[in-house]
Amino acid sequence: MGAALLTISNISKRFSGVQALGGVDFNLYAGEVHALVGENGAGKSTLMKVIAGVHQPDTGRIVIDEKEVNFSNTDDSQKAGISMIYQELNLINTISIAGNIFLNREFKHGIFLNEKRMNEEAKKSLDQIGVKLDPRVKVSRLSMAQKQLVEIAKAISMEAKIIIMDEPTSSLTEGEKKYLFDIIAALKKKGVGIIYISHDLDDVFKLADRITVLRDGCTVTSSSTDSTNKASVINQMVGRELNQIYDFQTNVKPKVLLEVDGLSNKELLKDISFSVREGEILGIAGLVGAGRTELAYHLYGLMKPEVGMIKLRSKVVSIDSPSKAMSLGIGLVPEDRKDMGLFLNMPIQTNVSMSNLKSIRRGGLMHSKLERNKALQYIKDFKIRTSGPEKKVVELSGGNQQKVVLARTVDTKPQLLIFDEPTRGVDVGAKSEIYKLMYKLASTGVAIIMISSELPEVLGVCDRILVMRGGTIAGELSREEANSELVMQYATGQK
Amino acid sequence: MNVVKMNNVEIQKKISFTDFLSKYGLIVGFIILFVVMAFLSPVFLTKVNLINILRQVAVNGIISVGMTFAIISAGIDLSVGAVLAFSGLIMVMTQGQGAVVALLAALLSGVLWGFVNGMFITKGKVQPFVVTMASMTLVQGVTLMVSGGHPITLKNPTLLRLGSDYLGPIPILVVVFAIVIILGWVLLSKTSFGRYTYAIGTSESASKLAGIKIDRIKILIYTLCGAMAALAGVILTSRLSSASPIAGAGYELDAIAAVAIGGASLAGGEGKMVGTLFGVLIVGVITNGLVLLDVNVYIQQIIKGIIILVAVLIGNRK
Amino acid sequence: MMKKLFKSLVCSVALVTGLVGCSSASNSSGSGNSDSTSKDKQLVVGVTLSQMSDPFFVNVKQGIFDQAKKDNVKVVFADGQANTATQLSQVEDFVSKQVDLIVLNPTEADPLVPAVKEANNAGIPVITFDRWVTGGKTVTHVGASAIEIGAQAGEALFEYLGGKGKIAVIEHIPGASTTIDRTKGLDEALKKYPGIKVVARQSATSRAEAMSVMENILTANPDIDGVYAYNDDNALGASDAIIAAKKQDKIVVTGVGGTAPALDAVKQGKLLATVDILPLEEGKLAIKTAVDVLKGKKITEQHEGRTWVLQQSKVVNGPQWDKKK
C-alpha cells in the first residue's frame, strides 16, 4: 500500500465537560472500505463530524494526501474531497434530484439557474453508479434507498475521494442493500476510500477491508477483517467492567402489574408479549430502530396497536391517549426530553406541577405558594441543583432537567413508570442518583420499564432484560444469565 | 482590582435596567404617554375625557381578552370582528323576544362560531390562522346576506340602556369591561385552563405527553374568543343603537395589536392579562389624544404605527 | 353536551346553505330569463358595483334591476367587493361574455383604466357610474356630483347656523376620491359663508369610530355649533355621541347619502339634514342611459368639464330644521 489517503492522529474533543473523543488514531487508504464500529455514544458520529468539518478538534492532526488540513466548516472538507452521507439524509424533499446534487454549487446563466446543464451533469453522475433515475424528479417521490443513491451520486459529482457513510443500510431492504454493496464495490475500484459506520456486524464483515473499534472516545483496536471475528469485535465494543455506580437493589414483588399480549402494529411492532411485576425493573435493550421507543409509545397512548391486548392488574385496558395512560397510573419519561418532556421556557415549579394541577388548587384556583412548596420538596428529594424553583428549566444541566421530568411524572403517582434512555446526556454523578430514585420507586411497588442503549446500565440496574430486534422480542434474559455479549448477539441477530 | 469591581457593578446595573424595562416598560411607557398627553391638551385629564377613553376601549378590550388566550396558545383568531358584527345582528333581530333572549341569542351565536373554529382547528388539524381567516370571510358573508347589507336599528329600551346608562359615575359598558378583564386575569393565571393555555403555546408535544387534553383546551379557547367577540358585539350595538353588517371590520387587527403591545409573543407561551389591559389602554389613549389635539389624519396613522413598534420593541427586550 | 352542540352546528350549516339557495334563485330571476324567442334581441348590460356591503349600493342595485325589468334589459351583475383586482377580472369577464354595454362603478380611478381599454378594444361601450376612471374611452359618466353634494350639505348647515359659528368636520376614508371631492364642495360652501370656522377636522370609517371621534372632539371643543360629516354613518355616529352628551339642543349634524337610518334620524330630529343622492333613481338612470346609448342617442350633456348625465340630489331635512334661527 502507498501513502494513506487520510490519516488522523490523536484527535480529542470535549463538549461542555464531557470527553467525547480522547486521542483517536485512524487512517484510510484509497480503494479501501474501513468500517468503524462501537456502541452508541462511543464517539463514532463525533469523529466523523470532525472529519467532515462540522466540529473542530481540540487536539490532533488531520492529514489528507500528506497535507495537514484544518476544516472550519463542511464547505472546506467538501473542497478537500470529503463527502459525508448522514444517517438522517440531508436532501431537500421539495426540489429535484439534480437540484439536490448541485445544491449550493448551481450552474447558472447570469442570475438564472441553468437547469439543463444541471440535469445533464446529474444524469452523468447517476449513470456512473448505474442508477436509472430522472434527475428532474422531486426527491420527495423517492424511496429511502433511492435517496441514499442520490446522496452517493452527489458525492461522485463532487469528485469525492473520501465518502463517509453513517448507517447507510438501516432503512434498506435486502435487495436494496445488495445493490448498494455493488455500488460500494464499484467505488472501491475507482480508488475512492470509504469509511463505513454500521451496527450490523454481518454487513461489516461482508464489506470491510479493515475494522476499527471505538469505545468511550478511544480507539480499542484496528485490524484487518481477515484477522478478527464477530465475537471478538463484540467483546471489544462492550468490554468494560460493570462498575459501582449501579449499586443494584432488587424489590420484585410476586404480583404481576402489566401484561402485554400479542401487541402488533404494522412493521413497527410484531407480536410483542411480556409482563412486569410490581417493584420490578425491566430493561429493554436493542439497537436504534428495533422498536423500543415505539413500544413505549404504545403503552403510553401516543400510538395505537392494530392487534394485541394490554392488561393492568389483570384488567384489560385501552390506552388511547397520554391523559388516559396517566389516569391509569402509567408515566413516561421520554427519550426526547427537551421536546417532549419539558416546557423549556417555563420555571421548574410550573413544569413539576403541570400534570397534577389539582394538587395545587384550592377552591378551583391555583395557589402559587402550594406550587412553590411542591417544587421545593422535589428539589430537595431529587437533589435538583438550582438557585430556586423559579429558574427556567432551559438553564439547567441535562441531569437536572431529567430530574424535573421525573418529578413531574412521579407527582402523578404512577404504578408503572417507563424510562426511555433515562441517562442520555447525563453526567455520571446524576446517573447514579437517577438509579437510586428508580430503586426507591421500585421499593414502593412501582414497576419500571427502562429502555436504554447503554448496555452496562441495562445490565447493572435491571432485574430482567428483554432484547428487541426489528420490532420483535428477540430474547429474554434474567439478570443472572445476562451479559453484554449475549445481549449484543440477540440485538444484532447472531442468536 | 478596584476597576474590576466598578465594572462588575456597572454591568449589574445595566442588566437590572433592561430587566426593569422588560418587566415594567409597558407601564412606564403608558405613564409617559399619559403625562405627555396631559401636558399637551388641557382637557385630557378631565373626568369626562378619562371616562370617554375607558368607554372607547371597552369593545376592543373585551375582544382582546379572548385574543390573549388564542395568542398565548400559539394560535390566533381573525374571525372576531366578523363574529362581533354577526352577534350584534342576531341581537337586533331577536330584540322582539325580550332583552334576555336577545342577549343570550347574541352570545350563543358567538359561542357557536368559536366552537366551530375550535373544531376545525383541532379535529380538522388546520392552522388557526387559516381556519379563522376562512370563517371571518364566511361569517361576514352570512351577516351581509341576512341583513341585506343594511344596518338595523336597535329599539329595545333595556338593551339600549346597556350602552348608554351609568352605574354611578361609570358607564355600564366600562363596568362590563372591568369585570371581563378581571375574570380573564383569574382564568389565565389562576386556573388549570389558563396554565394549559401557556403549556400548549410553549410546547404542544410536551403538553400532550404531560397528559393535557390539547383538543379540549383549544376548543375552549376559540369558544371563549367567540363569546368575547359576541359580548363586544352586544355592547357596540347597544352603544350605536344599531347593528351594521360591516361594524366589525378591523377589530381583529386592533385586538392583535393590543395583545402584542401588551407583551404577548405571537409564537406562543408568553403574555399576561395585565399586559393586554395596558396594550388596550395605550391604543385608546393615543387615539383619544391625537383627536383632542386635532392632529392631521394622515399623521395620526404614522404616529400610531411608530408607537406600536416602539412598544413592542421595549416589550421584547430580553 | 357535545352531541347537542353538534346538532346545533348542523342546523346552522343547513340554515346557511338554505339561505344561499334562496339568494341564488332570486338572482337568476332578477337577471331576466334567457329564452330568446322575443323578436327584439334582448340587450345585455354588464354592471359591476364597487362594494355591496355598503347599503347605498344595495339601493343602487335595486334601482338598476327595477329599470332593467321595465326596459327588458338583461343585467349581468357583479360585486367588486371593494377590490380593484376583483373588479378588473369582472370587466374582463364581461368582455369575454360579449355584453352590449358595461356600467362600471370603479373602486379606484387609475387601476381600472386597463379594464376600460380592454372593453374599448372589443368595441364594447363603457359608462362610468358614480365614480369615474382617469383614462380609456368612456361614452359618458352617470351619477351625482360629489362636489355639488358636498356644497349642498355645507350650505344647508351654514344657512341653518345663520352664517356664523364653529363647526367640526368628520371626513371619511383618507385619500378616497369621494373624500377629496366632498372637501372641494365643502370649501366652495365655506367661501360663501365666511363667518363659519372649522375648529376640528378628523376622520372616521365606521359609525363606532365616528362616535368615539366625536366624543373626543366634544371634549376638546365643547362650544361647537355644528358637525359636517362626509357620509351618513359618520353623521349618525356623531349624533350618537352628541345625544349621549345631552348636547343635541346645541349642536346639529349634517350627513350625506340618504341611507334609510339617516333619513329616519332626520325625521326623528336627530340629524339636521342629509343630502339624499337618491340611489334608487341613480341606479335607474344608469340603465336608462345605457339603453339610450345602445339605441344610438348621442350624449352631449356636460358637467364639471366632462360628458355627464347628472343625477340631481336633494337636501332632506326634518323637525330640527324648523327651529332655524
Closest CB to B211: pick one of A339, A340, A355: A355
Task: Measure in Å the smallest separation between the Cα of B159 and chain A Cα atoms.
Answer: 33
Handedness of CA C277, C281, C287, C292 (dihedral sign): negative
Task: Measure in Å the smallest separation between the Cα of B207 and chain A Cα atoms.
Answer: 8
pLDDT on residue C53:
79
3-state secondary structure of B290: helix
Which of B159, B118, B133, B139 has the alpha carbon at shortest distance from B245? B139
How far is it, in rounded angstroms, from Cα B123 to Cα B130?
14
pLDDT band at C89 (very low <50, low <70, confident <90, very high): confident
Q: Provide, as residue numbers in chain C, all residues whose Cβ is less than 8 Å from the Cβ of B107.
A: none
C243 or A289, greater pLDDT: C243
C39 or C99, greater pLDDT: C99
User: For C174-182, what is the mean pLDDT?
Assistant: 82
Q: Provide, as residue numbers in chain A, all residues whose Cβ is less than 8 Å from the Cβ of B186.
A: 365
User: For C219-227, what is the mean pLDDT?
Assistant: 94
Whether A258 has its CB under 8 Å from any CB of chain B: the answer is no
Please tell me the total count of domains within chain C. 2
The CB density around residue A475, as the number of other CB atoms within 10 Å, is: 19
The burial class, CB within 10 Å (0-12 / 13-18 / 19+), for B262 is: buried
Residue C126 lies in a domain: yes
pLDDT on residue B8:
40
Residue C229 lies in a domain: yes
CB-based contact A322:A315 (threshold 8 Å): no
The CB density around residue B168, as the number of other CB atoms within 10 Å, is: 6
CB-based contact A319:A310 (threshold 8 Å): yes
CB-based contact B119:C12 (threshold 8 Å): no
The domain of C185 spans 146-276+314-324
Task: Give the count of Cβ contacts less than 8 A between chain A and B.
Answer: 66
DSSP code, position A347: B
Least confidently predicted of A326-330, A333-337, B25-29, C215-219 = B25-29
pLDDT band at B10 (very low <50, low <70, confident <90, very high): very low
User: For A63-68, what is the mean pLDDT?
Assistant: 90
Q: Provide, as residue numbers in chain B, all residues whose Cβ is less than 8 Å from the Cβ of C9.
A: 112, 115-116, 119
Task: Measure in Å the smallest separation between the Cα of C144 and chain B Cα atoms.
Answer: 21
B144-178 residue pLDDT tens = 889 887 788 898 999 999 988 899 889 999 999 99
When computed from its CA atoms, the radius of gyration of chain C, rounded to whole angstroms, is 22
B311 or A453, greater pLDDT: A453
Same domain, C247 and C286: no
pLDDT on residue A385:
85
Task: Measure in Å the smallest separation between the Cα of B11 and chain C Cα atoms.
Answer: 46
Same domain, C57 and C109: yes
Whether B265 has its CB under 8 Å from any CB of chain A: the answer is no
pLDDT on residue B4:
38
pLDDT on residue A242:
42
Whether B208 has its CB under 8 Å from any CB of chain A: the answer is yes
How far is it, in rounded angstroms, from Cα A381 to Cα A324?
28
Same domain, C78 and C173: no
Biggest CA pair distance of chain A: 81
Indicate if the pLDDT at residue C31 is higher than 50: no
Interface residues on B facing C, Cβ-Cβ cutoff 8 A: 41, 43, 46, 48-49, 52, 55-56, 59, 112, 115-116, 119, 140, 142, 144-146, 148-151, 153, 164, 236, 239-242, 244-247, 249-250, 287-288, 291-294, 296-298, 301
Percent of the residues in chain C that have a pLDDT greater than 90, as a whole number: 56
Task: Measure in Å the smallest separation between the Cα of B199 and chain A Cα atoms.
Answer: 7
Indicate if the pLDDT at residue B221 is higher than 80: yes
User: Mind spelling out the 3-state secondary structure of B72-110?
Assistant: HCCCCCCCHHHHHHHHHHHHHHCHHHCHHHHHHHHHHHH
Biggest CA pair distance of chain C: 70
Angle at C117 between CA C114 and CA C122, to 5 degrees: 130
Element (H, E) at A157: helix A144-157
Cell numbers at A23, concatenated? 486521542
The burial class, CB within 10 Å (0-12 / 13-18 / 19+), for B105 is: middle
Whether A171 has its CB under 8 Å from any CB of chain B: the answer is no
Indicate if the pLDDT at residue A60 is higher than 70: yes
Cell numbers at A259, concatenated? 401484561
Mean pLDDT over all residues of chain B? 89
Element (H, E) at C256: strand C252-257
Asked if B116 and C212 come within 8 Å (Cβ–Cβ), the reply is no
Same domain, C194 and C285: no
Place of cell 377629496: C180
What are the two backbone dihedrals, phi and then psi, of residue B47, each rounded to the nearest 5 degrees? -60, -45
pLDDT on residue A307:
93
Task: Measure in Å the smallest separation between the Cα of B242 and chain C Cα atoms.
Answer: 9
**Residue B259 falls in which region: left (phi positive, over 0), alpha (psi -120 to 50) or beta:** alpha
- Write the single-letter amino acid at A196: Y
Same domain, C157 and C259: yes
Cell numbers at A272, concatenated? 410483542
User: For A61-74, what is the mean pLDDT?
Assistant: 90
Percent of the residues in chain C that have a pLDDT greater than 70, as a whole number: 87
CB-based contact A214:A195 (threshold 8 Å): no
CATH number at residue C221: 3.40.50.2300
Residue C173 lies in a domain: yes
Asked if B210 and A322 come within 8 Å (Cβ–Cβ), the reply is yes
Q: Provide, as residue numbers in chain B, all residues whose Cβ is less than 8 Å from the Cβ of C55.
A: 149-151
Residue C264 lies in a domain: yes
Least confidently predicted of B178-187, B269-278, C126-135, C185-194 = C126-135
pLDDT on residue B25:
80
Indicate if the pLDDT at residue A428 is higher than 80: no
Closest CB to B43: pick one of C57, C58, C219: C219
**Residue A217 falls in which region: left (phi positive, over 0), alpha (psi -120 to 50) or beta:** left
Angle at B68 between CA B64 and CA B70, to 5 degrees: 115
pLDDT on residue B134:
96
Mutate which of C206, C242, C247 to test chain B, going by most B C-beta atoms within 10 A? C206
Asked if B192 and A341 come within 8 Å (Cβ–Cβ), the reply is no
Task: Please spell the DSSP secondary structure of A16-50, one letter per residue.
Answer: TTEEEEEEEEEEE-TT-EEEEE--TTSSHHHHHHH
Q: Provide, as residue numbers in chain A, all residues whose Cβ is less than 8 Å from the Cβ of B270.
A: 345
pLDDT band at B17 (very low <50, low <70, confident <90, very high): low
User: For B39-68, what is the mean pLDDT?
Assistant: 93
CB-based contact A277:A252 (threshold 8 Å): yes
Asked if A322 and B195 come within 8 Å (Cβ–Cβ), the reply is no
Same domain, C170 and C240: yes
Strands A307-312 and A315-317: antiparallel
Element (H, E) at A264: strand A256-265
Q: Provide, as residue numbers in chain B, all residues whose Cβ is less than 8 Å from the Cβ of C212.
A: 52, 56, 287-288
How far is it, in rounded angstroms, from Cα C229 to Cα C271?
11
User: In terms of residues, how long is chain C?
Assistant: 325
Question: How high is the ipTM of this complex?
Answer: 0.84
Cβ-Cβ contacts under 8 Å for A41 (sequence gap 6 or more): A453, A454
Residue C21 lies in a domain: no
Q: What are the contacts of A176-185 at 24+ separation with CB within 8 A? A: A176/A143, A176/A145, A177/A203, A179/A145, A180/A145, A180/A148, A180/A149, A181/A206, A181/A207, A183/A129, A183/A130, A183/A149, A183/A152, A184/A33
User: For A86-98, what is the mean pLDDT?
Assistant: 82
User: For B299-307, what is the mean pLDDT?
Assistant: 88
Same domain, C262 and C118: no
Same domain, C95 and C157: no
pLDDT on residue A178:
85
When computed from its CA atoms, the radius of gyration of chain A, rounded to whole angstroms, is 25
pLDDT on residue A239:
63
Indicate if the pLDDT at residue C65 is higher than 60: yes
User: For B255-271, what is the mean pLDDT?
Assistant: 91
pLDDT on residue C28:
39
Same domain, C217 and C255: yes
User: For A236-243, what is the mean pLDDT?
Assistant: 60
Same domain, C231 and C289: no
- Give the residue from chain A lying closest to B189, CA to CA: A366
Residue C10 lies in a domain: no
pLDDT band at C8 (very low <50, low <70, confident <90, very high): low
pLDDT band at A105 (very low <50, low <70, confident <90, very high): confident
Domain ranges of chain B: 75-249
CB-based contact C56:C257 (threshold 8 Å): yes
pLDDT band at B1 (very low <50, low <70, confident <90, very high): very low
User: For C262-288, what is the mean pLDDT?
Assistant: 93
Task: Measure in Å the smallest separation between the Cα of C291 and chain B Cα atoms.
Answer: 28
pLDDT on residue A75:
86
Mutate which of B291, B293, B302, B303 to test chain C, going by most C C-beta atoms within 10 A? B291
Which of B217, B64, B226 has the alpha carbon at shortest distance from C12? B226
**A185 to each of A212, A308, B23, C48, how far by Cα in Å?**
20, 44, 64, 72
Asked if C12 and B48 come within 8 Å (Cβ–Cβ), the reply is no
Task: Measure in Å the smallest separation between the Cα of C74 and chain B Cα atoms.
Answer: 22
CB-based contact A430:A402 (threshold 8 Å): yes
Mean pLDDT over all residues of chain A? 88
Same domain, C167 and C129: no
Q: Provide, as residue numbers in chain C, all residues whose Cβ is less than 8 Å from the Cβ of B287.
A: 212, 216
Asked if C5 and B146 come within 8 Å (Cβ–Cβ), the reply is no
pLDDT band at A20 (very low <50, low <70, confident <90, very high): confident
Asked if C53 and B242 come within 8 Å (Cβ–Cβ), the reply is no
Q: Provide, as residue numbers in chain C, all residues whose Cβ is less than 8 Å from the Cβ of B140.
A: 53
What are the two backbone dihedrals, phi and then psi, of residue A268, each rounded to the nearest 5 degrees? -75, -50
**C124 to each of B58, C85, C94, C293, how far by Cα in Å?**
52, 20, 9, 11
Q: Provide, as residue numbers in chain A, all residues whose Cβ is less than 8 Å from the Cβ of B193.
A: none
Same domain, C209 and C184: yes
